[in-house]
Amino acid sequence: MVETLRVGVAGLGTVGAALIAQIGKQREAIAARCGRRIEVVAVSARSRNKNRGVDLKKMKWFSDPVELAGFDGIDVFVELMGGSGDPAKTAVEYALASGKSVVTANKALLAKHGFKLAQLAEKAGVALNYEAAVGAAIPVIKTLREGLAGNSINRVYGILNGTCNYILTRMEQEGLSYADCLADAQRLGYAEADPTFDVEGYDTAQKLALLASLAFGTKVDEGAIYVEGISSIAPADLAAADELGYRIKLLGVAVRTGKGIEQRVHPTMVRKDSSIAQVMGVTNAVTIDAEGINPITLVGPGAGGAATASAVLSDIADVARGLKAPPFGRPTGKLVAVQKAPMQRHEGGYYIRLEARDKPGTAATIATRLAEQEISLESIVQRHPKGEVPKSKNGSVPVILITYATSEDAVRKALAAVGRDKVISGRPQVIRIEKN
């Protein structure tokens, strides 16, 4: 048997502790599968004396993760500290520069510095693996990097944030408000005290940046993504979606268009019969549309200590076996820069909900303004969902429009004109429809 693969783990939160426990428990099975043992020989964390439920006695302790990264007693540096800045960044750079393979679950670091880190890994001839950074235990990185190597990918999209999907699922199934569901998510530990990063779509954007790079050979660039969160979604939208045969999901979408790669994160109407629409609660899912074949959807736990540790361990096992693919599926010299697609040019169907003044001529005015922008309507509903009697708030009635494919520019112009006509109150709700 080949020599033991010596692992150093920086960061001993729930994932780090789960990883050490799993490696201990699966010792023999891993050795059988990889043809060599995997052993955690050194660790680093902020506090040495915290009880993490795992035995660290045989492991060398480093109070400085960067020092661990440079320690020549390890072959693989596992970074589980998180954050796009230091110490994670310097530690990973130092590990790669000193010829160690790196395994990380750090989406923020990769979304910001992934391209440069991939260059470092390439130069050193080592692996930079990050299966856990997107969809935790769902093998989406491996699938895009290796599994569909011969396919031209047209689109990749997914539910990449469990917090948002939990909130939208509760809102849909129980008719609750966004605020109530968010409070529950916070109580259950699914959302942070400051939920901005999750609910406003930034977490999804970081993950999407990685998927887009793997799918399309772009330089990972989270700045190139249009981002919109779920905080404006109302129970009325979920009820209307249900009635029209849709569900609302926060999707990250990267798609090849005639104008380049479009990357966007926003609440999205998806048809109820699609695989992605079935994904409920904190579960994550990614759908891959490759040229000439029906979509492939991968569904599973997108977070949690054990699920994340499972993906980290698969990455370590690949290093143990000597399986090494370029971090973003292609040599870094082949990766190309991507522009931020201006959303005005986005083309697709739209869901629009307006609070219209309840007086004659309002519907005609709205329809005329849409027609002026050459927007065709698939449906227009002017009654309250679920057949209730319209509740007139300040003399207004909800109007739900579904458009056929049009441009975002046209929709924005039409709604601005409707606003000037003073036939609606409040801000129009606009949700993009994603075809499946």
Residues forming contacts to a second copy in the complex (CB under 8 A) are 22-23, 25-26, 29-30, 32-35, 38, 131, 137-139, 142-143, 146-152, 217, 273, 275, 278, 280, 283, 290, 292-301, 304, 306-307, 310, 313-314, 316-318, 321, 323-326, 329-331, 334
Please state, in angstroms and rounded to a whole number, the distance separating the CA atoms of residues 386 and 239: 8
The helix/strand/coil state of 140 is: helix
Do residues 207 and 108 make contact, with C-beta atoms less than 8 angstroms apart?
no
147 marked ligand binding residue:
no
Complex with a second copy: residue 295 or 349, whichever CB lies closer: 295
192 marked ligand binding residue:
yes
Tell me how crowded residue 351 is: count the other CB atoms within 10 A of its CB: 24
Task: Give the H/E segment covering residue 186.
Answer: helix 178-187
- Catalytic residue from among 207, 219, 249, 391: 207
Q: 377: which residues sit within 8 A by CB, 6+ positions away?
A: 367, 370, 401, 402, 403, 404
Strands 406-407 and 347-357: antiparallel
Q: 76: which residues sit within 8 A by CB, 6+ positions away?
A: 5, 6, 7, 8, 100, 101, 102, 103, 316, 319
Q: 237: which residues sit within 8 A by CB, 6+ positions away?
A: 248, 351, 353, 429, 431
Residue type, 86: D
Q: How far is the CB of 319 from a second copy (least distance, A)?
A: 11
Q: How far is the CB of 307 from a second copy (least distance, A)?
A: 4
Question: For residue 387, what is the DSSP state?
Answer: G
| Nearest Cα to Cα of residue 267 among 309, 222, 237 | 237
- 207 counts as catalytic: yes
Q: How far is the CB of 27 from a second copy (least distance, A)?
A: 10
Complex with a second copy: residue 8 or 139, whichever CB lies closer: 139
Please state, in angstroms and rounded to a whole number, the distance separating the CA atoms of residues 220 and 222: 7
Q: Which two structure tokens, joined as six digits, stand for 170?
A: 């509760």
Complex with a second copy: residue 304 or 419, whichever CB lies closer: 304
183 marked ligand binding residue:
no
Q: How far is the CB of 117 from a second copy (least distance, A)?
A: 19
Q: How far is the CB of 313 from a second copy (least distance, A)?
A: 3
Rounded to 5 degrees, what are φ and ψ at 217? 70, 30
82 marked ligand binding residue:
no
Complex with a second copy: residue 68 or 299, whichever CB lies closer: 299
Q: How far is the CB of 333 from a second copy (least distance, A)?
A: 9
418 marked ligand binding residue:
no
Complex with a second copy: residue 26 or 368, whichever CB lies closer: 26
15 marked ligand binding residue:
yes
283 marked ligand binding residue:
no
Complex with a second copy: residue 167 or 290, whichever CB lies closer: 290
Which residues belong to the annotated binding site for NADPH? 107
Q: Which residues are documented as binding site for NADP(+)?
A: 10-17
Catalytic sites, residue numbers: 207
- Which residues are known binding-site members? 10-17, 107, 192
